[in-house]
Amino acid sequence: MSTESALSIRDLRVTFKTLLGNVQAVRGVSLDVQPGEVLGVVGESGSGKSVSFLAVMGLLGRNAVIEGSAKVGDTELVGANQRTLRKVRGNNVAMIFQDPLSALNPVHRVGAQVAEMVLAHHHGMSKDDAAKRAVELLDIVGIPQPEQRARQYAHEFSGGMRQRVMIAMAIANDPKVLIADEPTTALDVTVQAQILEVIDRIRKEMGTAVVLITHDLGVVARMADRVQVMYAGRVVERADVHSLFHQSDHPYTRGLLASQPTLGRERLSPIPGAPPNMLQPPSGCAFRVRCAHAAPECAGDVPELIQVRRTETACVRAQELEALV
């Protein structure tokens, strides 16, 4: 892939050491995000999609072991010291989280929280200037009366407004990459659309690369340029958004699509079974235990991503299954 990637991850592995054993949350994820591009990362809870990016940001606990590589520009983040990570965090890479109420500090005014982000990477700036910049940012993300709102606390905001605050905070330093971890999950549908619009506007205006982590394929369809589907800590399928929705070759992706409510379809078909226990993930294709098309060979080597039709798919039977579509 191109060296101009805003974010480039290679073979990222995250293991949590717990009392019960090692949880292999991420087992070799690679991806690239280009400036101005939206990469959707899709998967069920526990598929490792959030963990991958928290690992990149260095925000996981002490019990997480991170291997592989994650580069922002020329800066390697895996194994980097705190100083390097701090320079990158909030500056080159910013993150917004799922629940903006708990993600905002309840006892600090929102303006101050945004200003703190500004100050963190503009050491010479005065507090007043930072505060002014915070108000500007709140204005940019579409918060009305930003000066007054800046003096309020998170609990005085609605959910959507809070997420706007989070976005304002995230874009404070014109980051190259914006990681949005389920940014709309906790919000009403109408508000969801507004937030997505804000993110899209930012991307367009600033040329920011956006990683959109979600389990909501609707959001992906609307926002993403490309999509990666994750299952059990691995990328199982990767494609541009149109191909994924129309020519997916991985049974899991198809299952996900079938479980999404779509206008006109009469019934939803959820994927049977539950995600695997990551203490001891199944050998071979981790999805085979839930897969309607599983065959003995699925238990063999871990399938690699290979180009099948218009998507890259990690399924040994992809070629055969193509016919079933």
Query: How many residues in total does the chain contain?
Result: 325
| Residue of the chain from 34, 91, 214, 313 that contacts another protein (CB under 8 A) | 91
Per-residue binding string, another protein, 54-83, x by CB under 8 A, is: x--x-x----------------------x-
Q: What's the closest the beta carbon of residue 125 comes to another protein, in angstroms?
A: 14
Structural contact between residues 165 and 103, judged by C-beta atoms closer than 8 angstroms: no
**What pairing do the DSSP bridges indicate for beta strands 226-231 and 234-240?**
antiparallel
Can you give the C-alpha Rg of the chain in angstroms? 20
Q: What's the closest the beta carbon of residue 206 comes to another protein, in angstroms?
A: 18
Which among 26-34, 104-112, 218-226, 270-278 is the span making contact with another protein, rule CB under 8 A?
104-112
* Cβ count within 10 A of residue 218: 14
- Between residues 154 and 315, which has the closer beta carbon with respect to another protein? 154
Cα dihedral 111, 114, 120, 121, rounded to 10, equals: -120
- Between residues 61 and 270, which has the closer beta carbon with respect to another protein? 61
Interaction of residue 90 with another protein, rule CB under 8 A:
yes
Interaction of residue 107 with another protein, rule CB under 8 A:
yes
According to DSSP, residue 98 is labeled: S
Which residue stretches of 27-172 are H helix? 49-57, 82-88, 100-103, 110-121, 127-140, 146-150, 159-170
- Between residues 103 and 286, which has the closer beta carbon with respect to another protein? 103
Q: Residues in the site for another protein, rule: CB under 8 A?
A: 54, 57, 59, 82, 85-91, 94-95, 97, 99, 102-108, 116-117, 120-121, 153, 155, 166, 169
